[in-house]
């Protein structure tokens, strides 16, 4: 894409020149203002399109001793020496464009808007173009948050040391399970009573449990 910019017109739209400074700046401030504008354009335009970008200034405030055409950071700069004003030079550049459908003219002068439309080129007011490029420059880049994240409160030193120890000390190993023996358990001997314990007295059984009843009956008969 090609770009032709009305230099002093964009200066006022961008606020580089104060509103009460008149249509053209004085010799004292013109050089500094031009450099500020050219740096803004060079920082805004894509690097691949710098070589097809032209900024036109009126020759009335051109720096003495410089050529009418020069380059600043890849941007072509032209002063309208030999023309009535910058608009006349811009009109000629529009007419000479070999790719007018890919051309954009930045100026608030409707005379230049009509010249651009005759060649099927695009025309945009300086303040509108300036607002658009500022909005694009303020957009977050891809994969970046739209708003900066608020940093959290830093942890106390004791808390930092606790977590460092927590994550660096080796974890405790679980106890190994005892291996089960395949041999049957050994029989346990019966519990023996204490040696000092006296034997339990035998229970006295009734006589009928010892002698048969027939024998007892015969004794009663004698």
Q: Does 209 reside within a domain?
A: no
Q: Does 72 reside within a domain?
A: yes
Which whole number is the average pLDDT over 89-106?
Answer: 96
Q: Does 57 reside within a domain?
A: yes
Q: Does 222 reside within a domain?
A: no
pLDDT > 70: percent of the chain: 56
pLDDT in tens, 45-89: 999 999 999 999 988 767 777 778 999 999 999 999 889 999 999
Q: Does 175 reside within a domain?
A: no
| Cα 34 from Cα 11, distance rounded (Å) | 8
Which H or E element spans position 30? helix 27-44
Residue 19: CB atoms within 10 Å: 7
> For residue 26, what is the domain's CATH number?
3.40.50
Task: Give the count of domains, the chain.
Answer: 1
pLDDT in tens, 130-179: 999 999 888 776 655 554 544 444 444 555 455 445 444 555 555 565 65
Q: Does 119 reside within a domain?
A: yes
pTM higher than 0.85: no
Burial of 13 from C-beta contacts in 10 A (0-12 / 13-18 / 19+): buried
Q: What angle do CA 16, 39, 139 make, to 5 degrees?
A: 85
Q: Does 36 reside within a domain?
A: yes
Residue 13: give the domain boundaries: 2-138
Q: Does 75 reside within a domain?
A: yes
């Amino acid at each position: 894409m090609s770009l032709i910019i009305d230099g002093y017109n964009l200066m006022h739209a961008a606020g580089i020149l104060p509103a009460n400074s008149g249509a053209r700046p004085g010799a004292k401030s013109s050089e500094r203002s031009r450099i500020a504008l050219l740096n803004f354009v060079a920082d805004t335009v894509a690097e691949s399109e710098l070589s097809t970008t032209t900024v036109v200034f009126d020759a009335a405030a051109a720096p003495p001793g410089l050529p009418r055409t020069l380059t600043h950071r890849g941007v072509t700069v032209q002063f309208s020496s030999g023309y009535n004003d910058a608009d006349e030079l811009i009109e000629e550049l529009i007419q000479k464009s070999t790719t007018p459908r890919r051309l954009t003219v930045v100026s608030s002068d409707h005379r230049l808007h009509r010249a651009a439309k005759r060649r099927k080129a695009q025309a945009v007011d300086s303040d509108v173009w300036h607002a658009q490029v500022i909005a694009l420059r303020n957009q977050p880049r891809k994969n970046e948050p739209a708003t900066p994240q608020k940093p959290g409160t830093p942890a106390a030193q004791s808390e930092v040391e606790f977590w460092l120890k927590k994550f660096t000390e080796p974890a405790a190993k679980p106890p190994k399970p005892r291996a089960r023996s395949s041999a049957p358990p050994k029989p346990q001997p019966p519990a023996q009573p204490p040696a000092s314990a006296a034997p339990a007295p035998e229970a006295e059984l009734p006589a009928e449990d010892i002698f048969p009843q027939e024998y007892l009956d015969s004794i009663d008969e004698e």
